Amino acid sequence: MTPKTPGRRVFLVAALFVAAFVLYGIFFYVSQQRILKSIIATKAESNQSYFKEKEAEEISRLNARAESICGTIAQLSAGQLENSQSFNLLKEGIAATLEPFMDYSEIAGIEVTDKDNRAYAAMWREGSAVRFRTNYALPGSFRAKYVGAVRKTATAEGKKQGTVTVYVDDHTISMAVARIKDEMQHSADAEMLTLRGHFNGKLIPQAAVLLFGIVFIVVSSRMVGKSYVLIEKQRRELEVFNRQLERRVEERTRELAEQFGKVSALNVGMQVEIKEREKAERKYRAIFENATEGIFQSSPTGEIISANLALARILGYASPEELRAVSANLFSQICTDAGQRQEALAGIQKNGFISQFESAGTRKDGASIWISISARLVTDAAGSTLFYEGTLRDVTRRRLAEAERQELQTRLVGISRQAGMAEVATGVLHNVGNVLNSVNVSTAVVSERIQQSRLPRLTQVADLIVSHKADLGDFLTNDERGRKVPQFLVDLSRHLSGETQAILDEMRTMSGHVDHIKQIVSTQQNYAGVSCVLETLDLRDQIDDALKIHAAVLEASDVQVVREYGEVPDVEGDRHKVLQIMVNLVSNAKHAMAGRSTKVLTVKTFVADDGAVKAVVQDTGCGIAPENLARIFSYGFTTKADGHGFGLHSSILASKDIKAELKVHSDGVGHGASFSLEFPAAKTAAEDGGVARHAVLV
């Protein structure tokens, strides 16, 4: 290949490009002219259609205007016609009504007739002057000249008073339409001229671009032709270098492949380790964020390094970030007593940790709380303190409960005494009934002995002796009946002595019963008096106290106690009455499970769907028959052989006193029973009228 051959090829390509540019210029000019002619023809057709529409709109508008004018004249003329015909007024008065409407150039004349279609008045245009005549109808030549006429009937109060005819000047309308048409044609011609100038104006830049392109191609072809030889030479050199580079790349690729295998194996091991660490980190993070206990890290001086959400909430903050931003020293907040705080820090420094150290702290709002802290000391290799870390729990409720239990323990002795007194009172009532029954039996025995006494026979003997007092000696010695009288008197005296002794014994027994009743009544009077204290209670504490009272008996009876306490709000009630109810329910459950192979006593607290707070005592005892469910709370009703039917009755009365509801459920005999004490949903301060509730003595 000679050096000139590439130059010829470049020149040939350049010539082809020049020819293509010229052909493109010719094609562009011809296509632009065709498009221009097509646009002009379409625009002209569109303008014609538009002219016709505007002409029709203008004629319609003028006719509508004439129609409106005619209606207005008819309305204004109605009253004039009515008055003129009724009172023979001058007809020239209608000229004032018609004259303003002659100012419209399209109105040629107005003709008015009365209700009998007789000529009433007319006003028409002659040149530039306006004529008016009464009792005059426009001549036929006038009517023929102005064919566009509008006629309206003039009515007043619903009655025809005449007719108004308005003659429209068609020439004026035609001139207006022609004027609009000329204006629109002028606008269309100007638009066409602008469009031609726009299309023709594009030809000059296109021609300049074509010329510049041709010059550029010619100059570039010469430069490219010269450069092509140099490029071809460099291409051959580049091919040689490329082959050498490929050999070097292959060698380097083999080396990298060996190294990549080693790196891949190392990478797999690192990925496994990373996944394990990520898994452990997620697990730790989940535990850290979702823990119910507060978790913290702090510097040796008390600044918070990290804290979880539970810790922030325990201290009254919305988030750990807010806690770190507001709390300058964690130690001073979780342990307000400086001496106790120094003691705790000294214990950590000495032993390396503290466990369940309880101290008084403060929340964000200033409220005091009790906190249980477990923490340890973290040091570096040299033994220097790095930070403290640990957990803390809010034990305020437990501490308050312990204080309350301490107080309750003292009161529990009195309550137990009162409960025993109530039990004694129940026994007293039962004993009084038994004593009264004994008195009744003794009375019946005395009455029966008196009725069966032989005293009436003594009267008969006395009457017999009186009847024989004259011959009493002979009667007692010789008469058969008289001889029996002495022995009869001896036997009768002995029998009466025994009857008298028996009656005296019964009377002494009755006297003892009466004294017993007096003693019982005197004892009962010492227990008189009832009080009810309304206060805020935790049902779980009341249930625990009832279980403590029965703890020894339950344990001796091998009863398994299961507590299923749900989170419930405090309720309002009398502490003693709630405890009395719970004691009775636990006692009944214990008795119901006597002799059963399975003895499980389950106590529950939860909030029902309707917001009521419930305490449930459920047993696996003998159950309750369906027919007894409705009578279970009735006074005196009991299914126990030694029962008195007072416990459940007193419990339901106590539940009514504290505005609660006591319910029972059983699936039948052998399926156990469940008693529930239900407190209504607590009202908010707004519902209570904004008045806080306090303990009330009633």
Per-residue pLDDT tens for 448-477?
767 666 667 777 777 777 887 778 777 778
Q: What is the pLDDT of residue 618?
A: 94
Q: How far apart are the first and last CA of the chain?
A: 126
Q: Is the pLDDT of residue 415 over 60?
A: no
Of all residues in the chain, the percent with pLDDT exceeding 90 is 8
What's the token pair of residue 296?
A: 């913290």
The span from the CA of 391 to the CA of 388, in Å, is 10
537-592 residue pLDDT tens: 899 998 998 888 788 778 888 899 999 999 999 998 888 889 889 988 998 899 88
602-620 residue pLDDT tens: 999 999 998 899 999 999 9
Kindly state the DSSP code that residue 101 receives in the 8-state scheme.
Answer: G
What's the token pair of residue 606?
A: 């939860």
Q: Is the pLDDT of residue 697 over 60?
A: no
Mean pLDDT, the chain, as a whole number?
76
* Number of residues that this document lists for the chain: 698
Q: Is the pLDDT of residue 87 over 50?
A: no
What's the token pair of residue 580?
A: 């009395």
From the CB of residue 541, how many other CB atoms can be counted at a distance below 10 Å? 17
Q: What is the pLDDT of residue 663?
A: 92
Q: What is the pLDDT of residue 39?
A: 75
Compare 623 and 305 and report the one with higher pLDDT: 623
Q: Is the pLDDT of residue 698 over 50?
A: no
The sign of the CA dihedral 396, 398, 399, 400 is: positive
Query: Residue 98's closest CA among 107, 106, 89?
Result: 107
CA angle 498, 503, 506 (to 5 degrees): 130
The span from the CA of 192 to the CA of 186, in Å, is 10
Compare 677 and 380 and report the one with higher pLDDT: 677
The span from the CA of 98 to the CA of 136, in Å, is 14
Contact between 445 and 505 (Cβ < 8 Å):
no
Choose from 211-220, 357-366, 406-415 the range with maximum mean pLDDT. 357-366
Average pLDDT over residues 103-128: 82
Choose from 215-219, 333-337, 406-410, 514-518 the range with maximum mean pLDDT. 333-337
CA neighbours closer than 13 Å in the CB half-sphere of residue 231: 8
The span from the CA of 311 to the CA of 392, in Å, is 7
Kindly state the DSSP code that residue 639 receives in the 8-state scheme.
Answer: -
120-131 residue pLDDT tens: 888 888 877 888
Q: What's the pLDDT band for 628 if we cut at 50, 70, 90?
A: confident
Average pLDDT over residues 200-212: 68
Contacts by residues 693-697 (CB-CB < 8 Å, ≥ 24 positions apart): 693/536, 693/572, 695/533, 695/534, 695/535, 695/536, 696/533, 696/534, 697/531, 697/532, 697/533
Q: What is the pLDDT of residue 439?
A: 66
The span from the CA of 376 to the CA of 525, in Å, is 64
The span from the CA of 430 to the CA of 436, in Å, is 10
Q: Is the pLDDT of residue 12 over 50?
A: yes
Q: Is the pLDDT of residue 135 over 70?
A: yes
691 Cβ contact list (under 8 Å, min separation 6): 685
Average pLDDT over residues 519-548: 67
Q: Is the pLDDT of residue 438 over 70?
A: no
Q: Is the pLDDT of residue 325 over 90?
A: no
Q: Are strands 571-574 and 560-565 parallel, antiparallel or unpaired?
A: unpaired
Output the CA–CA distances (angstroms, integers) from residue 309 to 285, 319, 358, in the order listed.
12, 6, 21
Compare 414 and 106 and report the one with higher pLDDT: 106
13-60 residue pLDDT tens: 777 777 776 777 777 777 777 777 777 777 777 777 777 777 777 777
CA neighbours closer than 13 Å in the CB half-sphere of residue 121: 21
Which residue reads 């380097």 in tokens? 252
Kindly state the DSSP code that residue 447 receives in the 8-state scheme.
Answer: H
Q: Is the pLDDT of residue 401 over 60?
A: yes
Contact between 220 and 226 (Cβ < 8 Å):
no
* Residue 35 burial class via C-beta count within 10 angstroms: exposed 0-12, middle 13-18, buried 19 and up: exposed
Cα Rg for the chain, rounded, in angstroms? Answer: 63
